[in-house]
């Protein structure tokens, strides 16, 4: 499955964010608007409930040909047979997850520093989630706010270390008003001047958001708008 990381939806089922809407409905609307990846994130559901919800979401994502990833809970991803997982620095060890999932599944890793990003690439991460970029109400245990410049510095380090081909998304407090700032700063950093001229280095492939889609009055419209910003900032190959 070819993956477009441009608009990456992370779900949240808490009433403060989802309100009275249905999660599957918000996911479907985001996909209609062009979201290219869905991560099912639920810290509190029982295993059985998580499996049930993941199956429901998988039925939706499969209709759109988009991968469904599960946050943290590798055993849930294995049981439902979805496309992969997303793990943070304090979650399951990467090689254990790879062993459980097999060689072909997606394993994304969160990185909030250059060291974490390089380590994840060396371990074989399929893609990286860089952040937390801005303060967010959605994740309570956020450790580091790295800002757009932190994202840019990690991208530069990845390029310098030869990891330019690993896709990257940024996460944390991203919305329609600030997405352009992060994307354009990252895009500006993707051109380095060398003695042989300008060479593209490493850009952001997309933005990962929770509330900007899940809590949007019209998630389809919100996804369309974010995708437009991503596409405008993309550096042509
Ligand atoms: N990881 C870092 S920040 C975050 C996660 C899951 C939550 C982002 O939520 P929002 O609503 O897009 O700020
Ligand atoms: Mg985690």
Q: Is the pLDDT of residue 233 over 80?
A: yes
Q: What is the pLDDT of residues 93-134, one digit of tens each?
A: 999 999 999 999 999 999 999 999 999 999 999 999 999 999
As a whole-number percent, the residues of the chain with pLDDT over 70 amount to 93
Residue whose C-alpha is closest to residue 107's, from 128, 133, 79: 128
236 vs 51, more confident: 51
Q: What is the pLDDT of residues 178-232, one digit of tens each?
A: 999 999 888 776 655 555 555 546 789 999 999 999 999 999 999 999 999 999 9
Q: What is the pLDDT of residues 47-66, one digit of tens each?
A: 999 999 999 999 999 999 99
Q: Which two tokens stand for residue 127?
A: 């893609």
The whole-number pLDDT of residue 237 equals 57
Residue whose C-alpha is closest to residue 5's, from 47, 31, 32, 36: 36
234 vs 154, more confident: 154
Pocket probe mutation, ligand 1, options 9, 70, 89, 210, max atoms within 8 Å of Cβ: 210
The CA distance from 160 to 152, in Å, is: 12
The whole-number pLDDT of residue 91 equals 92
Q: How does DSSP classify residue 45?
A: S
Which residue carries 């889609």 as its tokens?
A: 213
The CA distance from 106 to 84, in Å, is: 4
Ligand 1 site residues (CB inside 6 A) read 10, 131-132, 136, 138-139, 142, 171-174, 209-212
| Residues facing 206 on adjacent strands | 169
Read off φ and ψ for residue 176, nearest 5 degrees: -60, -25
The whole-number pLDDT of residue 194 equals 52
CA dihedral 123, 130, 132, 170 (to 10 degrees): -150
Most confident of 12-16, 33-37, 191-195: 33-37
Distance of CA 72 from the midpoint of ligand 2 (Å): 5
Atom of ligand 1 minimally distant from the CA of 209: 12
Q: Is the pLDDT of residue 1 over 90?
A: no
94 vs 234, more confident: 94
The whole-number pLDDT of residue 200 equals 47
Average pLDDT over residues 161-184: 95
Which residues surround the ion ligand 2 when the cut-off is CB under 5 Å?
72, 88, 91
User: Which ligand is closest in space to the CA of residue 171?
Assistant: 1
Residue ranges with strand state E in 74-144: 84-87, 106-111, 127-130
Q: How confident is the model at residue 79 (pLDDT cuts 50, 70, 90)?
A: very high
Q: Which two tokens stand for residue 179?
A: 């997405």
- Let me know how long the chain is: 237
Please, how many CA atoms are within 13 Å of residue 19, restricted to the half-sphere of its CB?
9
Give the chain's end-to-end CA distance (angstroms, integer): 21
């Amino acid at each position: 499955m070819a993956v477009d990381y441009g608009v990456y939806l992370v779900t949240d089922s808490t009433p403060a964010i989802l309100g009275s809407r249905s999660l599957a409905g918000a996911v479907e609307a985001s996909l209609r608007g062009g979201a290219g990846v869905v991560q099912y994130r639920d810290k509190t559901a029982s295993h059985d409930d998580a499996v049930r919800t993941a199956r429901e979401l998988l039925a939706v994502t499969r209709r759109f040909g988009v991968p469904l990833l599960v946050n943290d809970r590798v055993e849930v991803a294995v049981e439902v047979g979805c496309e992969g997982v997303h793990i943070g620095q304090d979650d399951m060890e990467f090689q254990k997850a790879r062993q459980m999932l097999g060689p072909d599944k997606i394993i994304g890793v969160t990185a909030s520093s250059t060291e974490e990003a390089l380590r994840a690439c060396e371990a074989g991460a399929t893609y990286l989630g860089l952040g937390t970029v801005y303060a967010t109400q959605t994740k309570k245990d956020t450790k580091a706010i790295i800002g757009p410049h932190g994202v840019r510095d990690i991208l530069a380090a990845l390029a310098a270390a030869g990891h330019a081909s690993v896709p990257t998304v940024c996460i944390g407090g991203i919305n329609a008003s600030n997405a352009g700032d992060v994307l354009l700063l990252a895009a500006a950093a993707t051109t380095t001047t060398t003695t042989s001229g300008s060479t593209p280095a490493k850009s952001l492939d997309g933005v990962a958001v929770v509330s900007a889609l899940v809590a949007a009055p019209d998630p389809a419209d919100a996804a369309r708008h974010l995708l437009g910003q991503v596409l405008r900032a993309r550096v042509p190959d």
